Amino acid sequence: MEYVFHIIIMLNIYIMLTLSANLTIGMANLLTMCQAAFYGIGAYIGTFFLMQFNLPFLLVAALVMLFTGAFSFLVSFASVRLKDDYFVIATMGFQLIVYTILYNWTDVTRGPYGIPGIPGIRLFGMFELTGVYAYLVLSLVLMAVVVFLFHHLVESPFGRVLNAIRADEITVKSMGRNIVKFKSLAFFLSAAVAGLAGIIYASYVSYIDPTSFTLDESIFILSALFIGGIGNTKGPVLGAVFVVLLPELLRFVGLPDSVAANLRQIIYGLALILVMYYRPQGLLGKTIMK
Amino acid sequence: MILQLKDIRISFTNAQNESFDLLRGVNLDVEKGKITALVGGNGTGKTTLFNIISGFEKNYTGEVVFEGNDFNRIPAHRISLMGIGRLFQDGQLMGGLTLMENMKLASDDTTGEMPFSSLLFPKKWKKAELQKELQVREVLTRIFGQDNKYLNMLDKDASEFSYGEQRILSLARLLMGGDRLLLLDEPTSGVNPMYIEIIEQIIREMKEQEGLTVLLIEHNMHFVRKVADVCAYLDEGIIAKVGPTAEVLDDKNVRNSYLGL
């Protein structure tokens, strides 16, 4: 049963990550390749607070979201100056820079050795969460809160402005909306939620190293988003379900691990090609990436 | 005067790195409450002039004075908030959004557009949304009459409307904001004669019922004669002639250099 719970916890983390990516990619039409960088920043900053200070979880989560959100301004600044492919390349650059820092700043991050023994989250500063059951409940609650908030944002006037920016940025500007401000807010919220996912992950597995936050991971999150669909809440959720559950289903086919791993990549690739060809808005998406 | 352009100059550099002056000192006074047409050949800088007025083009010299305020180099979104609306040359409704969403976006009321306030005060923005919906219905009724078909198509995706319909609805959308000056860049471009008549009605409505000032770029001279009170002819980087529409369009030099007659 613990195995199933572990899958659900990871699923909850990836739902948060794909939803966070949806805000910038799916709604504001900003194709970013650095979601894993924010995920990693959140994990490392959260680890720092958990290991150095005995703070209650809500405070740690708020700090992590704030700091990770602040890092997003580096990328949103680039979005003002760079358009289309150039912006995508800049976000890849940001992803690589973050990875390189995490890997090489060994005094702080311990580089490739990673950081073991990350303490559990302390609820209200008293109860330390340990074990798969506690994280199951916590991740479920946070995932539900994030889904609710993002659904609310998608349906709100804020979501409408982001959708409009995706459709026609110039016209939105001529209607008196400050595009830079809206993009920055979208990035901030997106990065903050990815950071939240990062701290849950770090605390749950109690060990992090830079290999969990690579460009591959960003592409993985992006794949989940495009398979599930963009522009609403249900698409990203379905995408996360697909990419997290698929490898687990392959376990029951009885293939050797080495074959299953390769097969998983092939299936992801095929799924992406088929979805892009037959349903470019994703399985449950609302709109098409421009 | 609602808008004054004083000695507007702008230069561009082409692919061969050669500089050329597009606007060489444009001076134009736009009278409040009138429809002014800006005419001139292709590439003479009419749209560039609109870009300068609405803040999308910054690399110019000269003064843009709106309602007595010099707003040189103010960001485009702030110029819009000061009361200048714009219909772009290829301006359509925004696809992926419904007609209602398109109309609401043009409203001055931005309640709920900040994520934190929309999360914290949902009742406030939901109330504002209801007000906006009423305003949308009221604008569409005023423009297209009681029980017009668009009132039943508010939830339809904007991209599903025909080009002509999108054009007239884009014009109607301009009435959602509190604009006092509207810049219309070729409103009849690519539109069939039936919609041109509706566009004419809408522009008249803008002036007569709403009391708005309209500055429009147009190549359809028949249309210009029908709607414009004043006409300004842009040629070789300056306003070569300005005055009552018939007078300008019948001018020998204008007919010769622009209309080729």
**Residues shown for chain B:** 261
Q: A157 and B96: CB-CB below 8 Å?
A: no
DSSP string, A96-133: HHHHHHHHH-HHHH-GGG-EE-PPPPEETTTEEP-HHH
Out of B56, B113, B177, closest to residue A161 by CB: B113
How do residues B103-126 score in pLDDT, each as one tens digit? Answer: 999 998 999 999 988 888 999 999
| pLDDT score at A125 | 60
| Residue ranges, CATH 3.40.50.300, chain B | 3-93+176-259
How do residues A110-127 score in pLDDT, each as one tens digit? Answer: 999 999 988 887 776 666
In terms of pLDDT, which residue wins out, B27 or A287?
A: B27
In terms of pLDDT, which residue wins out, A265 or B135?
A: B135
List the single best residue of A156, A170, A181, A184 to mutate versus B (max B Cβ within 10 A): A156
**Phi/psi at B219 (nearest 5 deg)?**
-105, -10
Q: Chain B closest CA to A213's CA: distance in Å?
A: 28
Domain residue extents for chain A: 2-212
Please check the confidence at residue B96 and state whether its pLDDT lies above 70.
Answer: yes
Q: What percent of chain A has pLDDT over 70?
A: 97
Q: How many CB atoms lie within 10 A of CB A168?
A: 23
Chain A residues closer than 8 Å to B113 by CB = 157-158, 160-161, 177
CATH number of B3-93+176-259: 3.40.50.300
In terms of pLDDT, which residue wins out, A132 or B140?
A: B140
Provide the token pair at B183. 């810049």
Q: Does B122 touch chain A (CB under 8 A)?
A: yes
Looking at A230-239, A251-260, B13-22, which range is the least confident one? A251-260
What distance in Å separates the CA atoms of residue A91 and residue A33, rounded to the nearest whole number?
Answer: 5
Q: Does B45 touch chain A (CB under 8 A)?
A: no
- Bridge partners of residue B239, in order along the sequence: B234
- B19: part of which helix (H) or strand (E)? strand B19-30
| pLDDT score at A286 | 78
Q: Does A175 touch chain B (CB under 8 A)?
A: yes
Q: Does B130 touch chain A (CB under 8 A)?
A: no
Helix (H, G, I), strand (E, B) or coil at B213: strand
What distance in Å separates the CA atoms of residue B152 and residue B165, rounded to the nearest whole number?
Answer: 14
Q: Which of A160, A163, A164, A162 is nearest to A186 (CA)?
A: A162
Provide the token pair at A287. 């709109």
Own/partner pairs, B105-108, CB within 8 angstroms, 24+ separation: B105/A160, B105/A161, B105/A164, B105/A172, B105/A175, B105/A177, B106/A175, B106/B173, B106/B174, B106/B176, B106/B177, B107/B132, B107/B135, B107/B176, B107/B177, B108/A176, B108/B81, B108/B176, B108/B177, B108/B178
Q: What is the mean pLDDT of chain A?
A: 90
Minimal Cα distance from B183: which residue of A? Answer: A174
Q: What percent of chain A has pLDDT over 90?
A: 62
